[in-house]
């Protein structure tokens, strides 16, 4: 998901879950790894290891199994779960809203363009219901992964029914939906209370209708540092003189709203946030107050910084960056995001077989409560190198 930030700072410093999508878009035709059809033993989630060992299953991963009917999707997602289970993973972060759309039945957001529909535009089956049931049958947790602010393109929003708030806001020019330079997709502006409420209501809607174990969202916060993006709402308030502080608080309010709405549905549903691995860039470019979220209650139950750097990275070496995060707060669960998509491509990822398991082990040795791998299609690409990586991960 290569983001606008790459223009503003070194790509080495800014690797994120979001940054790999442009490259991964070109991998849609890569077949999923076909493992032997050995059934996975069903276990209860209560029996699972408390250490979180997670993988992100993105909309790109889901696209490859949404090309047929419901039976094909069930079979394809079961295979995903079995592959994850054999690798020792116990948690799935599954994309359910990537572009202001839904991989589930929603009153608030239109169905994703990837979900099969009938001639009336109604979805033929409910992917989230199937994925939740399948994951649980395999003893895996499923956390519904949303991108809170990113929307469709202007052309796509124009075509939507005005029953959807995002389409109405785009049409009325209220500033709640805006553009970011260099990005074809439009964005919700979190400085508006109505916007924050919609995002929180969307999270609650999922929790009410589906047996999800968590709500998870990643680093799609402010899409730009351009002062014009939220200039009108900033000018209308008097509490903040600093735009940066104002934006930090707007995003934190959004996070607090999500947390409150989810817990109102079920206090046992976990809320997780996955910011960039570079602490400074979270503040300078995304206006994500990660230290506040870690140190104070009411924002998240766990944090997953995307530390997508090798041990030899010249700017943000893995171990040093890991320890910087660990020093912020030692009480709230910290899950470390690892870059499966980088294996074989750069620095020590290109030659150090077993780097993912080494980084995962280092995270646990430094007091973290788990790790998460981005993303499924990279981890199970069928190559010998990734086969070695998953084998070593399964032995942790």
First to last CA, the chain: 29
What domain range includes position 279? Answer: 51-394
Q: How far is CA 101 from CA 117, 152, 167, 309, in A?
A: 14, 8, 11, 31
Is the sign of the CA dihedral 339, 223, 29, 88 positive or negative?
A: positive
Complete DSSP assignment for 295-331: HSSSS-SEE--B----TT-SSS-HHHHHHHHHHH-SS
- Domain-embedded: residue 26: no
Does residue 139 lie within any of the structural domains? yes
Structure confidence by residue, pLDDT tens digits, 29-39: 333 332 333 33
Q: Which pLDDT does position 36 carry in this prediction?
A: 33
Domain for residue 29, yes or no? no
Number of residues that make up the chain: 396
Measured distance CA(18)–CA(233) in Å, rounded: 27
Residue 39 within a domain: no
User: Distance between CA 199 and CA 176 in Å, rounded?
Assistant: 12
The answer as to whether 40 is a domain residue is: no
Q: Is residue 12 part of a domain?
A: no
- Band the pLDDT of 49: cuts 50, 70, 90: low
pLDDT in tens, 278-319: 999 999 999 999 999 999 999 999 999 999 999 999 999 999
The half-sphere exposure of 262 on its side-chain side, counting CA atoms within 13 A, is 29
CATH code (residue 107)? 3.20.20.80
The H or E element spanning position 96 is strand 91-97
Q: What token pair was written down for 82?
A: 């079995």
Half-sphere exposure of 48 (CA within 13 A, CB side): 23
Total number of domains constituting the chain:
1
Residue with tokens 């997709």: 185
Please state the rounded mean pLDDT for residues 6-22: 39
Is the model's pLDDT at 115 over the cut of 70?
A: yes
Q: Report the predicted TM-score, pTM, of the whole model to 2 decimal places.
A: 0.88
């Amino acid at each position: 998901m290569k983001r606008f930030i790459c223009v503003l700072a070194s790509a080495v410093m800014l690797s994120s879950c979001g940054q790999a999508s442009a490259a991964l878009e070109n991998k849609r035709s890569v077949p999923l790894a076909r493992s032997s059809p050995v059934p996975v033993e069903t276990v209860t989630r209560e029996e699972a290891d408390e250490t979180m060992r997670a993988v992100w299953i993105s909309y790109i991963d889901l696209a490859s199994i949404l090309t047929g009917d419901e039976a094909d999707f069930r079979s394809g997602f079961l295979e995903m779960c079995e592959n994850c289970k054999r690798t020792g993973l116990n948690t799935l972060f599954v994309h359910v809203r990537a572009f202001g759309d839904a991989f589930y039945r929603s009153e608030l957001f239109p169905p994703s363009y990837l979900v099969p529909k009938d001639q009336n535009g109604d979805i033929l089956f409910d992917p989230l219901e199937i994925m939740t049931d399948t994951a649980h049958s395999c003893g895996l947790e499923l956390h519904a992964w949303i991108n809170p602010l990113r929307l469709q393109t202007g052309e796509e929003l124009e075509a939507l029914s005005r029953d959807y708030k995002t389409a109405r806001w785009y049409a009325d020019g209220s500033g709640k939906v805006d553009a970011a330079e260099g990005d074809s997709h439009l964005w919700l502006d979190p400085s508006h209370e109505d916007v924050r409420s919609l995002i929180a209501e969307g999270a609650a809607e999922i929790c009410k209708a589906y047996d999800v174990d968590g709500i998870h969202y990643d680093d799609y916060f402010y899409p730009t540092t351009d002062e014009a993006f939220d200039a009108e709402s900033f000018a209308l308030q008097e509490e903040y003189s600093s735009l940066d502080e104002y934006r930090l608080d707007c995003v934190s309010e959004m996070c607090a709203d999500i947390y409150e709405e989810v817990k109102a549905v079920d206090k046992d549903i976990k809320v997780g946030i996955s910011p960039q691995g570079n602490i400074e860039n979270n503040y300078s470019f995304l206006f994500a107050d990660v230290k506040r979220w870690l140190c104070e209650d009411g924002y998240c139950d766990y944090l997953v910084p995307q530390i997508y750097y090798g041990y030899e990275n010249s700017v943000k070496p893995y171990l040093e960056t890991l320890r910087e995060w660990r020093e912020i707060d030692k009480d709230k669960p910290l899950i470390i995001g690892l870059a499966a998509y980088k294996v074989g491509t750069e620095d020590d990822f290109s030659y150090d077989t077993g780097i993912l398991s080494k980084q995962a082990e280092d995270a646990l040795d430094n007091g973290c409560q788990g790790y998460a791998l981005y993303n499924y299609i990279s981890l199970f690409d069928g190559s010998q190198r990734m086969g070695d990586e998953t084998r070593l991960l399964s032995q942790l």
